Structure 1
Amino acid sequence: MAATRKVLTLKISEIFLSLQGESSRVGLPTVFVRLTGCPLRCVWCDTAYAFAGGQTMSLPEILAAVTVVARDVGRVCVTGGEPLAQPACLPLLSALCDAGHAVSLETSGALDIGQVDARVARVVDIKAPGSGESDRNRWQNLALLTANDELKFVLKDRSDYEWARQMIEERQLAALCPLLFSPVDNELPAATLADWLVADRLPVRFQLQLHKILWGKLRGK
């Protein structure tokens, strides 16, 4: 008797169409696939609702749902939670690429990115001390980055900013890939962070979360 082929499944928090709110792709219509679960607990996390719950879906079901939502939109962002916490995230990323989508991955940087399909643009967080999770940074990931990837720092205060500056200098991060700096919502005023960047002429892109400016914390946006 032939062996039964295992059906890959993932726990999905939500699949929706919106504008990309961050990264170099900001403002572009994008389908978001948000996976459930995260091993980190950043103190400023804005997607804690994705820590649990969600719907178990097979890989074909996810691809079909993306097709329905995407229509003429060719960009898909796989996010979380922490998407790489689910092993089936890797074949999902490859399947989305195979389907012709331009795929990006938003990951905490605490897990190995080495097995992610080379066609995927990886947006990797570097957790500053103010997150409460800086000891979870997987620095080995830096050696795996390409110019197609991006490193993101979410900063809570001046101490976080100075730490990020030090990391950029010590680890020569600007030579690896584009760098993104964001202020923690309701903690660090955006104009303050912008003033620091201008004064110090850091080689980074300042960004705000466009989706929050447009729709606040409304889910599915």
Structure 2
Amino acid sequence: MTGTILQISEIFHSIQGESSFAGWPCTFIRLAGCSHGCRYCDTTYAKTAERRLSIGDTIDEARRYHAHLIEVTGGEPLEQPAVHKLLHALCDGGGGVMLETGGFLSVRDVDPRVHKVIDLKPPSSGRDKENCMENIDIALNAGEGERKRYEFKIVAADREDYLWARGILKDTRLAEACTVMMGPIAGTIHPSELAGWILEDRLHVRMQLQLHRYIWPGMDRGV
């Protein structure tokens, strides 16, 4: 039926490598398709679908791993209308449910029970003009209990990216209300350089590295 079929890139069990949940075992449902094309995208293979599954079959496959945490990611998962029914059904089934989105589309209609990790794309991505800034307003205007289910992720390739991020955080005061994660893009600036900038500016962010890339170096899929 229309609205109940998902374009799937992969479903796998791994260690959560990013976000405030880093380190926890997690089942990932990676939906296929993204119309944006960031310069540093590390999941270009997810642009095309490997399978088409119903929402029920997708959940059944994900639940086989018996993980206490499930993340729906992409690609850009919000480009598939059926993702909202998927997230709602996952929440009804219990356990932690996460959504990681590229930040191009509004999260307004996402089930409030979902923990939302929202990217803010910097200039080096080539897509910084496509950020859905409404998402910041949505998070800031959420109730105190609900606001904890919003976190933002910013990656940086150079000093320009960092200054761009610092400016947004200063203008919006987002980091005072929500968790903001910041990390280097692999192969660009060294983590110590980014850490130094954060410390120098007393920036209220949580630095992160992609943990899964240290556990399984060279592996691009299924981690």
TM range (shorter): over 0.9
Amino acid in structure 1 at the alignment position of 2:52: T
Q: Which residue of 2 aligns with 1:186?
A: 187
Identical amino acids, percent of aligned pairs:
42
Residue among 38, 44, 63 paired with 1:42: 38
Amino acid in structure 1 at the alignment position of 2:149: N
Q: Which residue of 2 aligns with 1:75?
A: 69
Corresponding residue SS for 1:63: helix
Corresponding residue SS for 1:118: coil
TM-score (norm 2): 0.93
Given that 2:3 and 2:81 are in contact with CA atoms closer than 8 Å, whether structure 1 keeps it comes out as: no
Given that 2:176 and 2:204 are in contact with CA atoms closer than 8 Å, whether structure 1 keeps it comes out as: no
Deviation at 1:195, TM superposition (A): 1.3
Residue among 105, 116, 137 paired with 1:111: 105
Cα 1:176–1:217 shift into 2, 3 Å: farther
Whole-Å separation in 2 of the counterparts to 1:36 and 1:184: 22
User: What are the within-5 Å matches in structure 2 for residues 159-170 of structure 1?
Assistant: 159-170=160-171
Residue among 51, 54, 75 paired with 1:55: 51
Whole-Å separation in 2 of the counterparts to 1:7 and 1:172: 37
Whole-Å separation in 2 of the counterparts to 1:20 and 1:199: 29
Whether 1:134 and 2:128 are equivalent positions in the alignment is yes
Deviation at 1:60, TM superposition (A): 0.9
Given that 1:97 and 1:103 are in contact with CA atoms closer than 8 Å, whether structure 2 keeps it comes out as: yes
Whole-Å separation in 2 of the counterparts to 1:181 and 1:155: 8
Corresponding residue SS for 1:187: coil
RMSD: 1.2
* Residue deviations 1:151-187 (CA, integer Å, cap 9, x gap): 1101110010011101100111113311110100001
Runs of 4+ off more than 3 Å: none
Whole-Å separation in 2 of the counterparts to 1:27 and 1:174: 22
* Structure 2 stretches lacking a partner, 5+ long: 140-146
Deviation at 1:200, TM superposition (A): 1.4
* Structure 1 stretches lacking a partner, 5+ long: none
* Residue deviations 1:120-166 (CA, integer Å, cap 9, x gap): 00000011111100010011111211222101101110010011101
* Residue deviations 1:84-136 (CA, integer Å, cap 9, x gap): 01000011001111111210100011101000000000000011111100010
Corresponding residue SS for 1:33: strand
Number of equivalenced pairs:
215
TM-score (norm 1): 0.94
Corresponding residue SS for 1:25: coil
Amino acid in structure 2 at the alignment position of 1:220: G
